[in-house]
């Protein structure tokens, strides 16, 4: 699986993921300020953009999704609860989208925002802002909900100890995310076992 990460001036990470057999690519959480870099990397590697994915409505940076859609004519993918009028393909929990010979599995994980989702592709999990390293995304922005965020931290989609986790702040392995989930439990005052720390 082709994988490349990017970091904008605010420290937010974004990703290009592609099937190496078919060159089908998805750009995940693109930042407006990095659009030229995505375009350059797509051209350099001979990729074909099939999807532009925003894991949730971003409050801390401008999405590059619309600019990339104009360049690549690929659909913008977001959860069906997204309020954006620019979404071409609404998805929800349990949906699977083909990406060449790979599959993009969608998990609805509300709490940071109502439209937050995690995306599994190959051996990676793209967490959006639901789980960060050492904590979770904030829940005090519009449509955020701390209780939902706690429940999302308990969701089965995190229970993949062999996968690599790609959050907007860094990329790591499951052990660090387990610590984040534990932190989330503390932060939100919940008593139940939480997230990957309770996985088998």
Applying CB under 5 A, the residues found at the interface with Fe ion are: 129
* Comparison of 44 and 140: residue with beta carbon closer to Fe ion: 140
Separation between Cα atoms, residue 138 and residue 113, nearest integer Å: 9
* Comparison of 24 and 143: residue with beta carbon closer to Fe ion: 143
* CB of 100 vs Fe ion, minimal distance in Å: 28
Which residue has its beta carbon closest to Fe ion?
129
* CB of 21 vs Fe ion, minimal distance in Å: 32
In degrees and rounded to multiples of 5, residue 59 shows phi and psi of -100, -15
* Comparison of 102 and 118: residue with beta carbon closer to Fe ion: 118
* Comparison of 16 and 117: residue with beta carbon closer to Fe ion: 117
* Comparison of 41 and 127: residue with beta carbon closer to Fe ion: 127
* CB of 117 vs Fe ion, minimal distance in Å: 12
* CB of 43 vs Fe ion, minimal distance in Å: 29
Separation between Cα atoms, residue 29 and residue 46, nearest integer Å: 20
Residue written as token pair 């420290």: 11
* CB of 87 vs Fe ion, minimal distance in Å: 16
- Give the three-class secondary structure for 37: helix
Q: Where are the alpha helices (DSSP H) in the chain?
A: 35-44, 65-72, 146-153, 174-187
Radius of gyration, alpha carbons of the chain: 16
How many beta carbons lie within 10 A of that of residue 151, not counting itself? 18
Separation between Cα atoms, residue 143 and residue 141, nearest integer Å: 6
């Amino acid at each position: 699986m082709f994988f490349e990460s990017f970091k904008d001036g605010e420290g937010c990470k974004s990703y290009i993921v592609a099937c190496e057999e078919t060159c089908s690519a998805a750009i995940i959480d693109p930042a407006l300020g990095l659009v030229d870099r995505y375009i350059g990397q797509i051209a350099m590697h001979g990729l074909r953009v099939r999807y532009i994915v925003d894991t949730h409505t971003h409050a801390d940076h401008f999405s590059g999704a619309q600019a990339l859609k104009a360049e690549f004519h690929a659909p913008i993918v977001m959860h069906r609860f997204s309020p954006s009028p620019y979404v071409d393909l609404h998805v929800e929990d349990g949906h699977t989208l083909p990406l060449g010979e790979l599959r993009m599995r969608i998990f609805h994980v509300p709490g940071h925002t109502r439209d937050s989702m995690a995306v599994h592709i190959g051996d990676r999990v793209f967490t959006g802002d639901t789980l960060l390293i050492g904590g979770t995304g904030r829940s005090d922005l519009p449509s955020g909900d701390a209780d939902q965020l706690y429940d999302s931290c308990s969701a089965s989609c995190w229970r993949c100890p062999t996968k690599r986790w790609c959050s907007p702040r860094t990329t790591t392995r499951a052990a660090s995310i387990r610590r984040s989930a534990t932190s989330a439990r503390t932060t939100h005052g919940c008593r139940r076992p939480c997230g990957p720390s309770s996985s088998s």
